[in-house]
Amino acid sequence: MTVFLVIIVLALLAVTGWQISKIFELSKKPDGDTSQVANDNDNRWNGILMLAFVIFLYVITIYCFWEYGRFYLPEAAAEHGSEYDNLMFISLGLIMFVQIITQGLLHYFAYKYKGKKTQKALFYADNDKLEFIWTIIPVITLAGLIIYGLFTWSDIMNINEEEDPLVIEIYAYQFDWRARYSGEDNTLGKANVRFIEGVNQLGVDESDSYGDDDKIVTELHLPVNRPVLFKFRSQDVLHSAYFPFFRAQMNVVPGMITQFGFTPTITTEEMRESEYMVDKVKSVNEERKERNEDLIAAGEPTLDPYEFDYFLLCNKICGQAHYNMQMKIIVESEEDYEAWLAEQPTFASTMEGSNQDQAPAAPSEDMETEEPQESEAVAVVDNEKN
């Protein structure tokens, strides 16, 4: 009730203020031009402001390119990456070229032909030839861009099963990733949220023999130049698997499996040695060094030197710790990859280990069994829905 009264009082005060301002206006002495219609002086100012605005836009655009140009990603580290980059740069280049000219002309003409008492606007009804030209040019350009985009899209999205891609499941949950390698048979075992229990964090179906040799890991290792097919699965909410260096992104949707395939072409080591990365790492470390001086002075722990690694990020705001949802990716030679994979335990051995020692909350060596509480709650809801 008090709130209601306060609102009424505030509204009445506002009305009073408005009425008083009107009285002041009426009591003012007439000083020449009191008309509401714009005069030559108003028009001149509007013209100048129109011109100033477009100059401001161009200056700020140039500044952004100059200042933030260094934040571009380096050369794509996947086979389809150059196609993707070309499509983006051609589309952006064309749009920017047209926009700079048309926007500039629009504002310049608004300035040049600003209203004047002595000038009268020309009545110009239509011109078929002009209309034809400004319709057909955008139609051809846009159709070209769209067709080019569609071809690029189908090139990138089509997975050639004959190339025998390495099948890896990427599993998302609040707030981390797991990768499941499909093992010797290159076939993933079935999985369902219903089977999530204890160390079986991904809900792999124990009765499906394809799953026995699957390997669940917390770090993604990829052999260079071998096609990889990723199958994405989410435990709880919508996530998005984003591999910026490989120019790949795919939604990770609860209740369905999405997929994306690419072939990594640059190993982590090669990327670290590239000119772009050497410069970047140097500049990051210089910043860290400066920061460390402050931290030492404040008696706080210092930052480690930065070293480049590829990573997989979540690109959908999926909850509180979304920003922290990332997984390291290591692209390496086939031999290094095989050696690393051989060390990882299979799903069957992990389950056997956990069945043997039935100690409460027996932690397995390779997997964290602790899960954020939210994800457990969501998994239960998901079960009920199924």
Binding site for Cu ion (CB under 5 A): 239, 314, 318, 325
Contact 367, 357 (CB under 8 A): no
CB of 317 to Cu ion, least distance (A): 8
Cβ closer to Cu ion: 107 or 239?
239
**Alpha-carbon separation of residue 273 from 148, 280, 309, 337 (angstroms):** 34, 11, 12, 20
CB of 325 to Cu ion, least distance (A): 5
Closest to 225 measured CA to CA, from 344, 335, 326, 74: 335
Q: Which two tokens stand for residue 297?
A: 């002075």
Closest to 215 measured CA to CA, from 172, 181, 251, 174: 181
CB of 172 to Cu ion, least distance (A): 6
CB of 58 to Cu ion, least distance (A): 38
CB of 321 to Cu ion, least distance (A): 9
Contact 108, 276 (CB under 8 A): no
Cβ closer to Cu ion: 202 or 318?
318
Q: Could you give the CA distance from residue 290 to residue 303 in angstroms, rounded to a whole number?
A: 10
Cβ closer to Cu ion: 76 or 170?
170
**Residue tagged 């030197």 (tokens):** 305
Contact 242, 79 (CB under 8 A): no
Cβ closer to Cu ion: 240 or 263?
240
Assess whether the previous peptide bond of 89 is cis (omega < 30° from 0). Answer: no
DSSP H/E element including 234: strand 228-234
Cβ closer to Cu ion: 266 or 312?
312
Q: Could you give the CA distance from residue 228 to residue 248 in angstroms, rounded to a whole number?
A: 12
Q: Could you give the CA distance from residue 203 to residue 193 in angstroms, rounded to a whole number?
A: 5
CB of 336 to Cu ion, least distance (A): 29
Cβ closer to Cu ion: 325 or 351?
325
DSSP class of residue 204 equals: B
Cβ closer to Cu ion: 269 or 374?
374
DSSP H/E element including 342: helix 334-343
Q: Could you give the CA distance from residue 110 to residue 86 in angstroms, rounded to a whole number?
A: 36
CB of 324 to Cu ion, least distance (A): 10
Query: Helix or strand or coil: residue 346?
Result: coil
CB of 312 to Cu ion, least distance (A): 11
Cβ closer to Cu ion: 166 or 318?
318
Q: Which residues contact 300 (CB under 8 A, 6 or more apart)?
A: none
